[in-house]
Chains A and B, each alone.
Chain A
Amino acid sequence: AQTVTQSQPEMSVQEAETVTLSCTYDTSESDYYLFWYKQPPSRQMILVIRQEAYKQQNATENRFSVNFQKAAKSFSLKISDSQLGDAAMYFCAYVETSGSRLTFGEGTQLTVNP
């Protein structure tokens, strides 16, 4: 069974600094998607960034980028120039390309200090 592990229950960063959130996963599949979702106190699940496993190039969305290491099954999220609005719970998630069910990690609570 696929598993997703986020080893950092909590992280903090100073405003305008850079922070990296870690995620590892376990799968025997070769074709899959990985995601980072943001969940602010409003509880809304907001897609931050998405990576297809067959793409070697790391995905980037403005201040958010990933370091995808397929052989190591690692998928970390880097947030540059952190803003107060980035404070939230961040979830890493996995899905097989042909599948329908996302597997989520336990989450990392990010605090941004002014």
Chain B
Amino acid sequence: NAGVMQNPRHLVRRRGQEARLRCSPMKGHSHVYWYRQLPEEGLKFMVYLQKENIIDESGMPKERFSAEFPKEGPSILRIQQVVRGDSAAYFCASSPFVGRQANEKLFFGSGTQLSVL
């Protein structure tokens, strides 16, 4: 059973371009979480999704950022018109459960490092 797969591992974009980050959860996991890690900081929650539903997007910036987790395929974090401040590592985590059990079966991917020139 492969772990949480994120790609690309590194992504370079120029200001104003779009960035699309992909996360394939572990097999059987229907709960996906996205976190952002700015340089020299801890991870900050962005969004929690289940298949075809956004459950909690309270950590997402109001503009330019969106996320989806379709019925088929990976979860996508999309950043439109990137700015230098978007440069960060973006992590995805997945779980097969919600609530107490989720906290015992949460696995992280290796992250995507986004660099905005």
Contacts and interface: CB of A to CB of B under 8 A. Distances in A.
Interface of A: 4, 33, 37, 42-45, 47, 50, 91, 93, 95, 97-98, 100-107
B45 A101 contact: yes
B110 A43 contact: yes
The 5 A-B pairs of least Cβ separation, nearest first, read A104-B42, A45-B108, A101-B45, A33-B103, A104-B43
Interface stretch (B15-23, B61-69, B71-79, B94-102): B94-102
Contacts, number: 57
Interface residues of B, number: 28
Interface of B: 31, 33, 35, 40-45, 48, 55-56, 58-59, 89, 91, 93, 98-100, 102-104, 106, 108, 110-111, 113
Given A93-B43, A97-B103, 12 more contacts: A4-B42, A43-B89, A43-B111, A45-B91, A45-B93, A98-B100, A100-B31, A101-B48, A101-B58, A102-B106, A106-B41, A107-B42
